[in-house]
């Protein structure tokens, strides 16, 4: 019963805080500039960590210059870790734009929305990412696209790696390792998604803590898309090796 109450209070607090941030982040940015707006957002996310019981172990240093931050995407909790020391814009699936709370804050943060089923839209997003970097902001994006539901890395798309190479833009890798299997989640976003997502969040937030390791690579510039993709695979395979081995034992059919 207590675990259910914990999940309920966390969901209510999440909704309230996301609503407040969606109001105060753009207001602060308008009145005081981009950096102060991001400061409000970052501290809001750190407060969110306390509300949701997130215990984030950061291994490495946040990038000090604008970069494309590429992360593995096992869980929807990943969105709470865009807490670097520089303003950073997220790339978000277009279907979340009209969602309450998450969509509101995403729009307040000037997120880049992508329709991954539309090749022309994906090209426009890549152009937006480059322009965002040139404005002095970082971009927080998963080259896997959607959540994977495990620590095994799904096939990544070469587009942003190619753009980083041709535009001489540094790349930084984040690798997330959840200590519990209650947090990774995947759904095909078709029928029954919202109900299934709510059930998943309810189970996950019953946990006392969300324990996760976040390893950060040093910034790197790549000479080709293939080089960058292989670097991404290797970095995650190394950091997540124990989690992946455990998942393979529990589910031999899992993507490797």
The answer to whether 208 touches 55, Cβ cutoff 8 Å, is no
Neighbours of 242 (CB within 10 A): 10
Instruction: Confirm whether 228 is domain-assigned.
Output: no
Look at the chain and report how many structural domains it folds into.
Answer: 1
Give me the pLDDT at residue 48, please.
96
Per-residue pLDDT of 136-192, as tens digits, reads: 999 999 998 877 888 888 889 898 999 999 999 999 999 999 998 899 888 776 777
Cα distances from 200 to residues 72, 75, 183, 206, 223, in angstroms, run 19, 11, 8, 10, 40
Average pLDDT, the chain: 87
- Taking the C-alpha atoms of residue 179 and residue 183, their distance in angstroms, rounded to an integer, is 9
Angle at 138 between CA 132 and CA 141, to 5 degrees: 95
Per-residue pLDDT of 104-126, as tens digits, reads: 777 777 888 887 777 777 788 88
Instruction: Confirm whether 28 is domain-assigned.
Output: yes
DSSP letter assigned to residue 182: T
DSSP letter assigned to residue 256: -
Average pLDDT over residues 43-55: 96
Give me the pLDDT at residue 256, please.
46
Q: Which helix (H) or strand (E) covers residue 226, if one does?
A: helix 225-239
- Taking the C-alpha atoms of residue 74 and residue 150, their distance in angstroms, rounded to an integer, is 5
Instruction: Confirm whether 230 is domain-assigned.
Output: no
pTM: predicted TM-score of the whole model, two decimal places: 0.88
Instruction: Confirm whether 224 is domain-assigned.
Output: no
Instruction: Confirm whether 189 is domain-assigned.
Output: yes
Instruction: Confirm whether 202 is domain-assigned.
Output: yes
Residue 167, token pair as written in the block: 């535009």
Give me the pLDDT at residue 224, please.
94
Per-residue pLDDT of 202-221, as tens digits, reads: 999 999 999 999 999 999 99
Give me the pLDDT at residue 145, please.
80
Instruction: Confirm whether 158 is domain-assigned.
Output: yes
Q: Which domain holds residue 65?
A: 2-216
Instruction: Confirm whether 256 is domain-assigned.
Output: no
HSE of 58 in the Cβ direction (CA atoms, 13 Å)?
8
Give me the pLDDT at residue 249, please.
45
């Amino acid at each position: 019963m207590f675990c259910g109450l914990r999940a309920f209070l966390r969901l209510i607090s999440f909704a309230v805080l996301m609503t407040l941030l969606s109001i105060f982040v753009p207001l602060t940015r308008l009145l005081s500039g981009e950096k102060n707006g991001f400061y409000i957002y970052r501290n809001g996310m750190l407060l969110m960590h306390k509300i949701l019981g997130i215990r984030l172990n950061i291994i490495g240093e946040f990038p000090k210059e604008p970069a494309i931050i590429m992360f593995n995407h096992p869980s929807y909790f990943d969105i709470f870790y865009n807490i670097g020391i520089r303003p950073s814009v997220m790339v978000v699936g277009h279907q979340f734009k009209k969602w309450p709370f998450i969509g509101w804050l995403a729009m307040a943060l000037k997120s880049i929305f992508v329709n991954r089923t539309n090749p022309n839209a994906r090209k426009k997003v890549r152009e937006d990412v480059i322009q965002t970097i040139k404005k002095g902001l970082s971009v927080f994006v998963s080259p896997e696209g959607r959540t994977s539901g495990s620590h095994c890395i799904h096939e990544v798309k070469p587009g942003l790696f190619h753009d980083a190479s041709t535009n001489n833009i540094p790349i930084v890798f984040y690798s997330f390792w959840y200590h519990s299997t209650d947090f990774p989640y995947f759904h095909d976003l078709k029928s029954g998604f919202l109900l299934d997502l709510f059930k998943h969040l309810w189970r996950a937030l019953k946990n006392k803590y969300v324990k996760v390791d976040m390893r950060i690579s040093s910034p790197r510039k790549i000479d080709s898309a293939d080089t960058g993709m292989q670097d991404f695979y290797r970095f995650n395979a190394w950091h997540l090796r124990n989690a992946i081995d455990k998942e393979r034992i529990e589910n031999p059919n899992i993507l490797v």
